[in-house]
Structure 1
Amino acid sequence: MTKALYKTTSMFESLVKRDWIKLIIWVFGMLAFAASGAGKMEVASSPATASTLYAMFVQNPAMVALFGPTLIKNAAHYTIGPIYGQTMTLITAITFAIISIIYVINRTRKEEDDGIAELFRSFPIGKLANTTAVVIELVLLHIVMTLVLAFSIQAQNVTGLNDLGSNLLFASTTSAQGFMWGMIALCLAQIFPESGSAKGATFGLLGLLYIVRMGTDVSHSHLGWLNPLSWSYLASPYALGHENWLGVLLSLVFAVIVLAAAYLLEIKRDVNAGYLPESGGSIHAKAFLLSLPGLLLTLQRKMIIGWFLAVFVLGLVYGSMFSQMSRFINSNATIRAIFIGSATAHQAIVGNFMVTLFSILSIMVAAFAVILLTQMTAEERKNRQEQLYALPISRIKLYLTYIITTIFASAIAQFLAILGIYLEQLGNKNALTFSQVLEPGTIWIVAIIFVISLLSLLVSFVPRLTGIIWGYIGFLLFMSYLGHILALPGWLQKLSIYNYIPKLPIEKMDWTTVSIILVLSVAMMIIALVAYRRRDLING
């Protein structure tokens, strides 16, 4: 084992030199995401507002499935702290987890795929040196993030969020989740034959556990202790009298166990090899591969099919909440008192739920679109685009093929999510018609196209910085998730394209705004096309 760890310190120093800017951006980005809303939670300080939010987020099964449960059972005790803890813990933990997964696989298995690991191994460096350096960096990063996040919330001195112990618990549980999922990604990276499948499997597991916890949180929240993802919010930060550090401990212990398994798997495998065999290809290429769209779709087919299946299943899960929503409205006196008549209450609450639901689903689809389009620059870095340009294929054709493929795949993914919601809620007493689900769901495709156009500009002008788009995706998620609760400045809300999308069915359709967004998106794509034709290909 000593030989396997030889030169770990040198690898760690090299890693920090390569990533220090990225790490700083990571810390400040996560800080902006998780702590920026703390000072705005005072909007919920009035008893009347807190009582309404209690009914919406604690007694409403649909909201519990989205945000997770809370142990607060008295509306009078549902103050700023518990509100912040319930609405922010799960989404922050998932955000930390996603970034950790991407970083760990990119710095381990992806470097094997790119031949970087093999170059390192040509020097007297231990087999586990690079992996251990990544683990050490991840540990130190999450320790720093825990302290910075806790003290940044503490420094805002918001009543209900000014207990240092609670702030440390919130920061610790979310950071522990980030580290744990990084180790899960590291373990799966040893099993699968290449980085793409390892990343897909890890995200698939994260999505599966998210869906599982949606079911247990609504009916049997105690079963959440069997779900590693649920350990984040089961710590109950800010729920004074109910706070529990067991979730943090379980996350860290599980992370260490998975890390040990990853070490055992890596030490026994060859570079660029996995424990699962690569699927064999056909001896002769099919006619579908002779076209550029066919080639691109074939290369990404597993990832595309996986995303299609994931959003459809998630649509089914969310669709099942409509019946629970109806029972909640009919049995809740507080909600009926807020609105004039239960029919109005049902229409208003279901409408608002649909807006939140479809906006979050569309952000997931936008992330799918980003992954698809960024393959354009990924192929450039691996010098594979040059092989295509050796054929009679123009840059215009390649660019348009990627853009059109991404837009169509995104539209299909959004439609599958809508279809899942519609099919699952068909048996309800107040079931929505297909048009009632289709229109509010498809309008968000306009926002997805806008995100694709922004990414096209990055691909054409600064291809090495396409990762910036993930920061905007995170911003959109934050605004859609909590933007309606926090009293955020108007200028900040205007930075979100989702702020301009008509909120069907609670708002009327605004064709002027939608047309402007589409025209602007097309204009940005044309500018990006011109720039892409003129720029040099990136190498490495």
Structure 2
Amino acid sequence: MSTLTGTGMMLRLTLRRNWLFWSLWILGLACLMPLTASQYDTIIPPGTDPRATLDPLRNNPSMLALLGPVFDINTKGGFVFWRVGGFASMLAGMMGALGIIRATRAEEEEGRLELLRAGSVGRHAPLAGALACCMLACLALAAVTAAWTASTGLPGTGSVAAGAAVGAEGLLFVGIGAVCAQLFESARSARYWAVGALWGGMFLLRMIVDGAGPEASYANLRWAIPMEWGMLLRPFAQERWWVLALPVTAFVLLVAVAFRLESTRDHLAGLWQTRAGRATAPGWLGGAWGLAWRLQRSTLLGWSLALVLCSAGMGSIMSQMDKALAANPQMGEMLQKMGGTANLQTAFYVAMTGIMATVAAIMSATVLVRLRSEEVHGHAEQVLATATSRTSLALSHLLWAVPVPCIVLVAVGAAMPLVQAQRNHDWSLVGTYTRTALGLLPGLVLVTGAMMLLIGWLPRLTGLVWALLGWTMFCTWFAVLFDLPDWLVRLQPWGHLAHLPRDPMDWTAFTIESALAIALLALGLLGYRRRGIPA
């Protein structure tokens, strides 16, 4: 029997099990450029010179760091791709990495692949089928993005290049995710390295390199950052089609490495072996609280360091914003349209703190969802068979899912303006934006409460929290560009909270949302005590 026997069947099975995952990602990413193009005339009214508004952004370090290099910002297509194309490409990479790990290591970890391999299925067929499914998804993303973007009236060639840039980044991270799925023995570790370490590391490096501007001595380092290859294709700006060879070649090499690694490891094992534990352990590790810390410590430390360091890095990039605003008053008008205030410093720090609040909520949900995964894998039953109560088990995870992300968010608010404060000798900025973060804490706890409520009463629907967070990210990044009703934009965890110092403090909203968050946590705990385990 060939090692690829049954690949077609595995492809069909993977498509059947993951069609919703891919459909939501493809539709969500493909709509970004068309929606932005539809609102271009709102930002640049017809008959006006776009250079008056957009030229000041060309060399602004903060905008370059956030959105990537500028090639032809004064055309509609060039502006649209610069505004959201790089962001869509990066998210496509996350989609590819999560998708391939979901279809390979996660399936193996849950025991499904072992059942399938008991039949007439070759050793490499599951991986080949998953890779084929991911390739089709990336091609579909490229095609839908290109067609949808071209339908807005943008040039067809540039639209095809934009779709290819987004799809190629997804394909590249499919290869990275496939290798990580062979290296680590759990889907959790594979996702951490593919998305956290590699994707997150590339994103931070890209911000540093691009923020320095095209004249920096190390500007050419962007060619060594795979996350940036899609942008360097230059859609709508004299496209460089040969750049597509970089992600495609990298994908082919990574796939070859993944197949080779799969041939050398045992089923359920990873090439990166988990270290053996100590022969003895302190007494505090013997209960549910110590077990939760042992399970969550890597996640907590990784997320905490990443958020604080990323925040400090973004703040260092913005250390020149006062100079940029003084030299280019049009930038204030641009920011007023896109960020809600003409004060560049306030707009940036408030917006970035809001984004980081959503990321901290993702951290909190990731920590708490471990309570559900322990139940699915049968580990919770073993713990509950001892003297440990359900309340203690749930609280042992909530201990890390609520206070730690809240502390991290406050640290983010304090770390972001540090460089600016040092440069201006104005340390009151640290206190100002620490208060910004403190004012957003009820939204973070509300997301955790929603996750606990679902785990307690509707555990199969915990994925709804990720939809809520996705909507929040859309509202933070893109809703200001569209004529959406204000009530709809505010329909998210941070929509009614005051974003200091831009808004006056609203203690009523703060108190009501805090009470609602605590009520959701309590109701979730009640449901967890009453329902069957496993559910």
CA offset digits 1:245-287 (Å, max 9, x no partner): 3443322221111111111111121112222221110112322
| 1:192 to partner: Cα distance | 2.6
**Change in 2 beyond 3 A, CA 1:524/1:6:** same
Work out whether residues 210 and 222 of structure 2, in 8 Å CA contact, stay in contact via their aligned partners in 1: yes
| 1:365 to partner: Cα distance | 1.2
| 1:119 to partner: Cα distance | 2.6
Given residue 348 of structure 2, which amino acid in structure 1 is its aligned partner?
F
380-389 or 120-129, larger mean C-alpha shift: 120-129
Spell out the pairing of 1:126-137 with structure 2 (5 A cutoff).
126-137=122-133
Given residue 40 of structure 2, which amino acid in structure 1 is its aligned partner?
M
Given residue 234 of structure 2, which amino acid in structure 1 is its aligned partner?
S
CA offset digits 1:382-429 (Å, max 9, x no partner): 011111211223323333332342011211221332343244444312
SS of the residue corresponding to residue 480 of structure 2 reads coil
**Change in 2 beyond 3 A, CA 1:286/1:50:** farther
| Residue aligning to 1:218 | 211
Aligned counterpart in structure 2 of residue 85 of structure 1, from 76, 81, 87: 81
| Residue aligning to 1:182 | 174
Alpha-carbon distance in 2 for matches of 1:24, 1:288: 45
Spell out the pairing of 1:12-51 with structure 2 (5 A cutoff).
12-32=11-31, 35-46=34-45, 50-51=50-51
**Change in 2 beyond 3 A, CA 1:406/1:236:** same
| Residue aligning to 1:428 | 423
358-367 or 288-297, larger mean C-alpha shift: 288-297
CA offset digits 1:323-361 (Å, max 9, x no partner): 22133234335458999xxxxxx9921000111111111
SS of the residue corresponding to residue 276 of structure 1 reads coil
SS of the residue corresponding to residue 497 of structure 1 reads coil
| Residue aligning to 2:338 | none
Work out whether residues 440 and 499 of structure 2, in 8 Å CA contact, stay in contact via their aligned partners in 1: no
| Residue aligning to 1:122 | 118
| Residue aligning to 1:529 | 525
**Change in 2 beyond 3 A, CA 1:68/1:301:** same
Given residue 377 of structure 2, which amino acid in structure 1 is its aligned partner?
K
Alpha-carbon distance in 1 for matches of 2:43, 2:441: 32
**Change in 2 beyond 3 A, CA 1:100/1:408:** same
| Residue aligning to 1:173 | 165
Work out whether residues 67 and 91 of structure 1, in 8 Å CA contact, stay in contact via their aligned partners in 2: yes
Alpha-carbon distance in 2 for matches of 1:513, 1:244: 51
Output the TM-score relative to the length of structure 2.
Answer: 0.90
Aligned counterpart in structure 2 of residue 374 of structure 1, from 369, 377, 382: 369
| 1:70 to partner: Cα distance | 1.0
Work out whether residues 43 and 487 of structure 1, in 8 Å CA contact, stay in contact via their aligned partners in 2: no
Given residue 67 of structure 1, which amino acid in structure 2 is its aligned partner?
L
Given residue 449 of structure 2, which amino acid in structure 1 is its aligned partner?
S
Work out whether residues 36 and 84 of structure 2, in 8 Å CA contact, stay in contact via their aligned partners in 1: no
| 1:529 to partner: Cα distance | 2.7
Alpha-carbon distance in 2 for matches of 1:337, 1:123: 65
| Residue aligning to 2:307 | 311
Identity value in percent: 25
| Residue aligning to 1:164 | 156
Spell out the pairing of 1:462-477 with structure 2 (5 A cutoff).
462-477=458-473
SS of the residue corresponding to residue 456 of structure 1 reads helix
Structure 2 segments unaligned to the other structure (5+ residues): 336-340
Given residue 149 of structure 1, which amino acid in structure 2 is its aligned partner?
T
328-337 or 141-150, larger mean C-alpha shift: 328-337
| Residue aligning to 1:205 | 198
| Residue aligning to 1:343 | none
**Change in 2 beyond 3 A, CA 1:104/1:34:** farther
Work out whether residues 209 and 229 of structure 1, in 8 Å CA contact, stay in contact via their aligned partners in 2: yes
| Residue aligning to 1:11 | 10
Structure 1 segments unaligned to the other structure (5+ residues): 340-345
CA offset digits 1:49-96 (Å, max 9, x no partner): 945652564332112111112113xxxx62442222112112212222
Spell out the pairing of 1:252-401 with structure 2 (5 A cutoff).
252-332=248-328, 334-335=330-331, 348-401=343-396
| Residue aligning to 1:68 | 68
**Change in 2 beyond 3 A, CA 1:324/1:38:** same
| Residue aligning to 1:231 | 229
103-112 or 354-363, larger mean C-alpha shift: 103-112
CA offset digits 1:469-493 (Å, max 9, x no partner): 2222222122212233333333431
Work out whether residues 56 and 330 of structure 2, in 8 Å CA contact, stay in contact via their aligned partners in 1: no
Are 2:91 and 1:99 aligned?
Answer: no
Work out whether residues 414 and 431 of structure 2, in 8 Å CA contact, stay in contact via their aligned partners in 1: no
174-183 or 42-51, larger mean C-alpha shift: 42-51
Query: How many residues in Structure 1 have an aligned counterpart in Structure 2?
Result: 522
Alpha-carbon distance in 1 for matches of 2:500, 2:349: 8
| Residue aligning to 1:488 | 484
Work out whether residues 42 and 80 of structure 1, in 8 Å CA contact, stay in contact via their aligned partners in 2: no
| 1:176 to partner: Cα distance | 1.4
Given residue 454 of structure 2, which amino acid in structure 1 is its aligned partner?
L
Given residue 110 of structure 1, which amino acid in structure 2 is its aligned partner?
A
Work out whether residues 101 and 177 of structure 2, in 8 Å CA contact, stay in contact via their aligned partners in 1: yes
Aligned counterpart in structure 1 of residue 397 of structure 2, from 380, 402, 418: 402
Give the aligned CA root-mean-square deviation in angstroms.
2.6
Work out whether residues 34 and 88 of structure 1, in 8 Å CA contact, stay in contact via their aligned partners in 2: yes
Spell out the pairing of 1:442-453 with structure 2 (5 A cutoff).
442-453=438-449
| Residue aligning to 1:538 | 534
| 1:210 to partner: Cα distance | 0.8
**Change in 2 beyond 3 A, CA 1:519/1:217:** same
CA offset digits 1:412-471 (Å, max 9, x no partner): 221332343244444312544331231122322222112212222322333223223222
Alpha-carbon distance in 2 for matches of 1:28, 1:519: 35
| 1:506 to partner: Cα distance | 1.7
**Change in 2 beyond 3 A, CA 1:70/1:170:** same
